[in-house]
Amino acid sequence: MVYHGTLMSLVTHSPSLLAALLLIVLFVTISGCVQEGAAPEPASAPAAPAALIRADYQPGEITKLAGAAQEQANASLTAIAALPPEKRTFENTVLAFDTAMTDYSDAIYPLIFMGYIHPDKEITREGMEAEESSAVFTNDIYTRRDLYNALKDGTPTTPEETRLYDITIRDFTKNGMNLPDDRLAKVRQMNDELSVLESRFSANLNNEDTVLIFTKTDLAGVPAETIAAFAKNPDGTYRVTTKYPDYVAVMEYADRSATRQAMFMAYNNRQAETNTPLLEQAIILRQSIAHELGYPTWADYKIDGRMAKNSRNVMDFVDTLKAPIRENVRAENVLLLRMKQDMDPSATALDPWDVSYLQEKLVREQYSYDPNVVKEYFPVDTTIRGIFGVYGNLFGITFEEVKGAKVWSEGVQLFRVKNTSDGATVGYLYLDLYPREGKFGHFAAFPLITGRMKDGTRSTPVMAIVGNFPAPADGKPGLLTMYDIETVFHEGGHAMHFLLTTAPYGTLAGFNTEHDFVETPSQSLEEWAWDPVVLSSLSGHYTNSSQKIPPELQGRVIAARDAGAGHFYGRLLANTIVDMEYHTADGPVDVTNVSLLIYSEMTGIPQPEGIHHPASFSHLMGGYDAGYYGYLWSKVYALDIAGEFRKDGMTNQTTGMRYRQEILSQGNMQDGGVLLLNFLGREPGPGAFYERLGIRQG
């Protein structure tokens, strides 16, 4: 999924600077299906490239560099605006604007990235401040009338130039170029205020450091290797954070309901006091901005120009899903309550902290396997090599680790991505996969340098995948669940979309697409995690990498895929409805109360008073406001794409290279609907999506 609140504040009001996504990637060979050498271990590691991002900053340096980047960008943009009308061409206006904006993003993204991953707190603080100031700076650019007037005079002469011209002018128009000066200034001021709120919301979450103290008795049921990875106090108790690995382990395995309840309450109260008012203020500001710009709601403003076109189409789409998803959730709840009553005959209802725990037990009972045994076949390094191999075969590329590269923390890896056909470098990918103090706490893909044409040559894209897999402990490597593996494929899809771009213009390259199309490549590639041939190829027991997951066990794992799907899609739809309720409202919104009501309705389980889930719903303050529906919307296209691959097998390179050419490489050079038509040879349809959700058509 595109990210959850990273550099997205840069693009909230300027879609051409799309930024962060969930991701991850990997490599090995698919036996019998992958070409020889699709993802080889390099005989000699390539030398560290000189032009990648830095991490060795001194205090104060990021602030100075961010200021210098703004000064350089402002000088370039002012030069465009100052051109006499008779001297304006497409090259010195629209193309120059694209160059200036991409130069700026290439300079500022690596600085902001430090705010999410750097081990030095002073450096992270400066990175966060750079994000806030950059968001304001970018907003102001798109409300400069002198710049807009100059860009309008640029005359495109080719379809590619026309595409860049149309999208650039639309971005300005949506930010108020048709308003009189006084109202335009008002919109600019409100956008700047909004960007500050969004950046602070994101910074608060990044600095979240809640810790719960549990005894060994409290943690009964949690795997021993997981407990061993928790920090231990002198009195023998354990320090458990609310970061992804800790949270999931407790919610899925802790036998004591009180332990799970404590974790659930803490997780859903992250930054409650600081972020709840920020979100509520942002919603009011967004309403005012939308009204000034002539839109009935913020949702209509944001969705204008996307595939869905307006909020009504989104709500119609949502309405088709409500009843069948609620029915699936209801059926799951019946089974889960029965299981709970088997353990506690006095139980009369499910609690929210029961669901993950009982679903884990249900999988063991219905499909007769232990997920902890399955994990043993998927150590991080082996699985990563395997996924790199899958992508290598499909898209004609190789991944070579760059030894000796300067990185920001021990364990971070850098890979060079090359074409197998000619050996040309197409991009670089950093992997930062394990938790550490002060690091961003979820999964995200961070664009750092954009691939584009500049000065007659193609620049090399650079991106980073930041994750939080269970760290090695007690002599065991980090081990991945099926959800982890699916997440890696998802994030790898974002990486391929960004690194394989051939779009000539930086503002239209990579995943700078329509926002409700951006999750299509990532969600389509999730399907590879569940293909028998692929899954077997990724596996290798942590004690003996040649020992693949047994076919019979693998069959049960794949059969269990949809266990818990009702609650998964129920939560996804609940988040979508919450987002749309917030952003179609007129007036103040009690974000906590709305969330409680919708989650209770969609999960069929009353949510407890005292939680404030919206305070940590980072998407809504990180570029996915009025856009969370895109996960479900894109899923329609993603499953249609996967169906096209299944015709000749998921490892078919001919289809893979066609996918690379028709979709992954294109960026935003054509509408998503056109790209899908070109790849599928027909209009996409919802059939596969409805089948996945159990919705009967006709």
Of the pLDDT bands very low, low, confident and very high (cuts 50, 70, 90), residue 48 is low
pLDDT value, residue 400: 97
Q: Is the pLDDT of residue 684 over 90?
A: yes
With H, G, I as helix, E, B as strand and everything else as coil, classify residue 68: helix
Q: Say yes or no to pLDDT of 9 above 50.
A: no
Summarised one tens digit per residue, pLDDT across range 498-544 is 999 999 999 999 999 999 999 999 999 999 999 999 999 999 999 99
Integer CA distances (angstroms), 443 to 68, 204, 345, 371, in order: 30, 17, 39, 21
Residue 474, pLDDT score:
80
Residues of the chain above pLDDT 70, percent: 92
How confident is residue 473, by pLDDT bands cut at 50, 70 and 90? confident
- Phi first, then psi, for residue 199 (nearest 5°) are -65, -40
Cα separation, 216 vs 236, whole angstroms: 8
Among 630, 627, 643, smallest CA distance to 676 is for 643
The answer to whether 307 touches 672, Cβ cutoff 8 Å, is yes
15, pLDDT greater than 60: no
Backbone phi, then psi, for 133, in 5-degree steps? Answer: -70, -35
Look at residue 672 in the predicted model and tell me its pLDDT: 97
Domain ranges (residues) in the chain: 211-260
Across the range 460-467, mean pLDDT stands at: 96
Q: Decide the pairing of beta strands 238-241 and 211-214.
A: antiparallel
Q: Say what the pLDDT of residue 413 is.
A: 95
**Residue 7: predicted pLDDT:** 41
Given the structure tokens 């030095």, which residue do they identify? 120
Residues above pLDDT 90, as percent of the chain: 86
Report how far residue 385's alpha carbon sits from residue 281's, in angstroms, rounded to the nearest whole number: 45
Say what the pTM is.
0.89
Rounded Cα distance between 153 and 272, Å, is: 48
The secondary structure element, H or E, covering residue 166 is helix 159-174
pLDDT of residue 496: 97
The model's confidence at residue 245, banded by pLDDT at 50, 70 and 90, is confident
- Beta-sheet strands, E only, within 392-488: 397-401, 413-419, 425-432, 444-449, 453-454, 457-458, 462-466
Euclidean distance between CA atoms 164 and 155, whole angstroms: 11
For residue 555, what are the contacts with CB-CB under 8 A and spacing of at least 6? 532
pLDDT, tens digit, 9 for 90 and up, residues 295-330: 999 999 999 999 999 999 999 999 999 999 999 999
Mean pLDDT for all residues in the chain? 91
CA distances from 498 to 18, 509, 511, 560 (A): 11, 7, 6, 32
Confidence bin at 441 (pLDDT 50/70/90): confident
Which amino acid appears at position 656 of this protein?
Answer: G
* Model confidence at 339: pLDDT above 50: yes
pLDDT at 49: 58
pLDDT value of position 459: 95
Amino acid identity, residue 307? M
Q: What stretch of H or E contains 483?
A: helix 482-499
pLDDT at 33 over 80: no
Strands 425-432 and 462-466, how do they pair? parallel
Which of 1-15, 252-266, 496-510 shows the lowest mean pLDDT across its residues? 1-15
The continuous run of DSSP H or E covering 690 comes out as: helix 687-693
Which of 572, 559, 389 is closest to 482 using CA atoms?
559
